[in-house]
């Protein structure tokens, strides 16, 4: 199939889904009330609770939920063929992911902006809140550790991204100052901020910051140095500063950057319209696990991701200005992520065929995807997206050096957004758990943030090399998707308690819990067989917590329907 045809069909499908299924959920299931007072106004503190224009919040929310997920997942999952990958992304985002994100935001809006884990105490019971928050803690611990390493590797592999990424911080802080302190118009200021950032992208293309060249560091030393800088400076600042100071304006800039990148890629698809060189089906890929159930674990954020429920109920619900805005932000944000995942599919299944390492066409794809992720590493698969995307952009005349720099900055920006948001949400989780058990030291913002980054740092460096976090990647997908199923479970019980039809959340909930529970069991067996006791211990702990949550929730559902009868 031609890549332009595939992309067009999926994009039109997302637009139709928003105006049909999305609006149906808003009217008939979640029954959005324009007169409801949201937590951003009722609890406004100008630090975490900040009423925000829905277009600005869409930028923050979208860049926070997206991160590298809709790129990493397709870049790995395409090994089973582009047809199953595209089908899961399309139908999963419409009927699973968007419902999950939208539902988590609505429930939080009606629960004082509390996280989906904390709300479980009201919707299910207090035991489930503790269990849920512990699962979330494990999830975020892994996310922060992994993405700190990914950013460090990307800075080492693409040193042209360093200058624009770090210059974005002062640009974002000044943008937030002008909007919130001086009352300036956000739209034109954000355009100016993006233009300035792209000037730094060009500078970075010709002035790369490579620690190995500049300071004679080994690759290992460079990785460790970058990890420490990212965890201590970037994650700490984003979590500790008021949301409108850095996190929100930087995400607003990144949302524009994303739109520009998507436009560049779309133009590349239109101009080059390369054929899909990846196989339509490759169910026996060398070294890869079975497509069932692992495609639903590997391709997460482009279809459904438990991390999204943490963003929807952790940061976005605290900034949403009205209930109707949650449709655009929650449901629409997930469909936009599906669109990004679609472009990622095109980049790695078609764009890569325009040329890679001296190969073209199917030979280029087969060279890069000769084996599963384990042989060459996660970032090697990310390179397929970066280089395939750069090929598409070069097709209409943008120089190779600039196009590669633009795509590298785009990737690192989104990885940084993920770690920033994850650290902030981890701080909320630590504070919520500490408040629940009256442990005063960790109820303070600065101490909770310090605890979040120290524990993630220990996990990242547990083997002394900084590569320890990457060994957690096989577990991350399973934990993340189990969390999605459990978030849908809480939303389903919420609907049941309000005597609303539950099938629209119950069906995807059962599917996700079954598929990802299956994957978790297979992973635990593998960790045991290979004597990987760290992953085995974490996997067993999360799995036991999950079973406990399900049992408690089933009991509550029986009680709810028993009362209705």
Kindly report, residue by residue over 203-217, the tens digit of the pLDDT. Answer: 998 999 999 889 888
Find residue 356's DSSP bridge partners: 359
Neighbouring CB atoms inside 10 A of 157's CB total: 16
Find residue 359's DSSP bridge partners: 356
Is the predicted pLDDT of residue 466 greater than 70, yes or no?
no
What does each C-alpha distance from 436 to 133, 432, 449 come to in angstroms?
A: 11, 6, 17
Cα dihedral 336, 73, 347, 391, rounded to 10, equals 110
More confident residue, 338 or 408: 338
Angle between helices 162-180 and 400-436 (to 10 degrees): 60
Position 377 confidence tier, pLDDT thresholds 50, 70, 90: low
Is the predicted pLDDT of residue 386 greater than 70, yes or no?
yes
Q: Tell me, what's the pLDDT at 51?
A: 92
More confident residue, 558 or 24: 24
CATH code for the part of the protein at 3-475:
1.10.4160
Q: Tell me, what's the pLDDT at 281?
A: 92
Return the percentage of the chain with pLDDT > 90, whole number: 34
Question: What are the structure tokens assigned to 558, written together?
Answer: 């029986």
Mean confidence (pLDDT) of the chain:
87
Measured over all CA atoms, what is the biggest interatomic distance in the chain, rounded to whole angstroms? 73
Question: What are the structure tokens assigned to 19, written together?
Answer: 């105006």
Find residue 275's DSSP bridge partners: 2
With residue 62 as reference, give the H or E element that holds it: helix 54-66
293 prior amide bond cis, ω within 30: yes
Q: Tell me, what's the pLDDT at 375?
A: 42
Angle at 314 between CA 461 and CA 41, to 5 degrees: 145
Exposure b/e, 84-98, CB count within 10 A at least 16 = b: bbbebbbebbbbbbb
- 130, 329 in Cβ contact below 8 A? no
- 552, 125 in Cβ contact below 8 A? yes
Position 470 confidence tier, pLDDT thresholds 50, 70, 90: low
Give the span between the Cα atoms of 116 and 505, in whole angstroms.
15
The pTM assigned to this predicted structure is 0.86
Q: CB-based burial of residue 319 (10 Å sphere; 0-12 exposed, 13-18 middle, 19+ buried)?
A: buried
Which of these, 546, 110, 14, 28, lies nearest to 331 by C-alpha position?
14
Position 460 confidence tier, pLDDT thresholds 50, 70, 90: confident
Give the span between the Cα atoms of 534 and 538, in whole angstroms.
6
Give the span between the Cα atoms of 565 and 560, in whole angstroms.
9
Question: What are the structure tokens assigned to 473, written together?
Answer: 């990647």
Q: CB-based burial of residue 452 (10 Å sphere; 0-12 exposed, 13-18 middle, 19+ buried)?
A: buried
Q: Tell me, what's the pLDDT at 379?
A: 66
Is the predicted pLDDT of residue 465 greater than 80, yes or no?
no
Q: Tell me, what's the pLDDT at 11?
A: 95
Q: Tell me, what's the pLDDT at 374?
A: 46
Helix, strand, coil tally for the chain in percent (to 5): 80, 0, 20
Give the span between the Cα atoms of 516 and 83, in whole angstroms.
21
More confident residue, 24 or 194: 24
Q: Tell me, what's the pLDDT at 108?
A: 96
Which SS3 state, helix, strand or coil, does residue 398 take? coil
Q: What's the rounded mean pLDDT across residues 130-147?
A: 85
Position 320 confidence tier, pLDDT thresholds 50, 70, 90: very high
- 422, 397 in Cβ contact below 8 A? no
Give the span between the Cα atoms of 534 and 486, in whole angstroms.
24
Position 234 confidence tier, pLDDT thresholds 50, 70, 90: confident
Which of these, 339, 177, 331, 159, lies nearest to 263 by C-alpha position?
339
Cα dihedral 214, 219, 224, 226, rounded to 10, equals 50
The string of pLDDT tens digits covering residues 324-376 is 999 999 999 999 999 999 989 998 888 888 876 677 888 888 877 777 654 45
Give the span between the Cα atoms of 256 and 233, in whole angstroms.
24
The string of pLDDT tens digits covering residues 17-41 is 999 999 999 999 999 999 999 999 9
Return the percentage of the chain with pLDDT > 70, whole number: 95
- Nearest 5°: phi and psi at 421? -65, -40
Count of alpha carbons within 13 angstroms of residue 397, beta-carbon side: 0
Angle at 171 between CA 167 and CA 176, to 5 degrees: 145
Is the predicted pLDDT of residue 458 greater than 60, yes or no?
yes
Q: Tell me, what's the pLDDT at 132?
A: 81
Give the span between the Cα atoms of 278 and 229, in whole angstroms.
38
To which residue do tokens 């035991």 refer?
127
Q: CB-based burial of residue 511 (10 Å sphere; 0-12 exposed, 13-18 middle, 19+ buried)?
A: middle
The string of pLDDT tens digits covering residues 499-510 is 999 999 999 999
Q: State the Rg of the chain over Cα.
A: 22
The string of pLDDT tens digits covering residues 55-78 is 889 988 888 887 777 888 888 888
Give the span between the Cα atoms of 220 and 230, in whole angstroms.
15
- 94, 21 in Cβ contact below 8 A? yes
Is the predicted pLDDT of residue 474 greater than 70, yes or no?
no
């Amino acid at each position: 199939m031609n890549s332009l045809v595939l992309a067009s069909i999926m994009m039109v499908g997302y637009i139709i889904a928003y105006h049909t299924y999305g609006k149906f959920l808003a009217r008939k299931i979640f029954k959005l009330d324009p007169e409801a007072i949201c937590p951003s106004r009722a609890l406004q503190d100008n630090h975490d609770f900040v009423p925000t224009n829905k277009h600005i919040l869409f930028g923050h929310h979208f860049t926070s939920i997206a991160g590298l997920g809709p790129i990493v997942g397709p870049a790995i999952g395409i090994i089973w063929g582009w047809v199953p990958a595209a089908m899961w992304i399309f139908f999963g985002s419409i009927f699973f992911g968007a419902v999950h994100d939208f539902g988590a935001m609505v429930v939080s809006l009606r629960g004082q902006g509390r996280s989906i884990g904390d709300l479980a105490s009201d919707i299910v019971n207090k035991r489930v809140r503790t269990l849920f928050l512990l699962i979330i803690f494990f999830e975020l611990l892994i996310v922060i550790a992994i993405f700190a390493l990914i950013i460090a590797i990307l800075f080492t592999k693409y040193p042209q991204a360093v200058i624009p990424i770090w210059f974005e911080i002062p640009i974002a802080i000044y943008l937030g100052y002008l909007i919130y302190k001086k009352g300036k118009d956000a739209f034109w200021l954000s355009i100016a901020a993006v233009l300035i950032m792209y000037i730094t992208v060009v500078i970075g293309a010709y002035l790369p910051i490579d620690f190995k060249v500049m300071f004679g560091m080994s690759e290992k030393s460079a990785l460790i140095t970058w990890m420490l800088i990212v965890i201590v400076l970037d994650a700490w600042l984003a979590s500790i500063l008021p949301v409108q100071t850095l996190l929100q304006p930087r995400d607003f800039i990144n949302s524009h950057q994303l739109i520009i990148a998507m436009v560049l890629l779309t133009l590349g698809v239109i101009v080059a319209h390369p054929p899909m060189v990846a196989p339509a089906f490759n169910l026996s890929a060398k070294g890869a696990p079975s497509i069932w159930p692992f495609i639903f674990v590997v391709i997460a954020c482009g279809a459904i991701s438990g991390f999204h429920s943490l963003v929807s109920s952790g940061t976005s619900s605290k900034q949403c200005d009205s209930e109707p805005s949650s449709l655009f932000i929650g449901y629409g944000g997930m469909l936009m992520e599906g669109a990004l995942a679609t472009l990622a599919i095109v980049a790695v299944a078609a764009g890569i065929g325009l040329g890679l390492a001296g190969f073209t066409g199917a030979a280029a794809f087969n060279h890069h995807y000769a084996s599963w992720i384990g042989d060459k590493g996660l970032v090697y698969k990310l390179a397929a997206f970066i280089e395939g995307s750069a090929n598409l952009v070069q097709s209409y005349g943008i120089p190779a050096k600039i196009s590669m720099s633009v795509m590298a900055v785009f990737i690192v920006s989104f990885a940084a957004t993920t770690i920033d948001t994850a650290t902030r949400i981890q701080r909320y989780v630590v504070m919520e758990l500490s408040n629940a058990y009256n442990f005063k030291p960790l109820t303070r913002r600065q101490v909770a943030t310090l605890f979040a980054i120290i524990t993630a740092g220990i996990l990242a460096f547990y083997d002394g090399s900084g590569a320890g976090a990457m060994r957690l990647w096989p577990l991350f997908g399973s934990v993340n998707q189990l969390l999605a199923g459990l978030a849908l479970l809480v939303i389903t019980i919420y609907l049941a308690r309000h005597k609303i039809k539950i099938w629209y959340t119950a069906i995807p909930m059962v599917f996700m819990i079954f598929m990802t529970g299956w994957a978790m069991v297979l992973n635990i067996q593998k960790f045991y067989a290979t004597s990987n006791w760290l992953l085995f211990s974490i996997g067993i702990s999360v799995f036991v917590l999950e079973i406990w949550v399900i049992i408690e929730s089933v009991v509550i559902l029986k009680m709810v329907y028993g009362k209705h009868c």
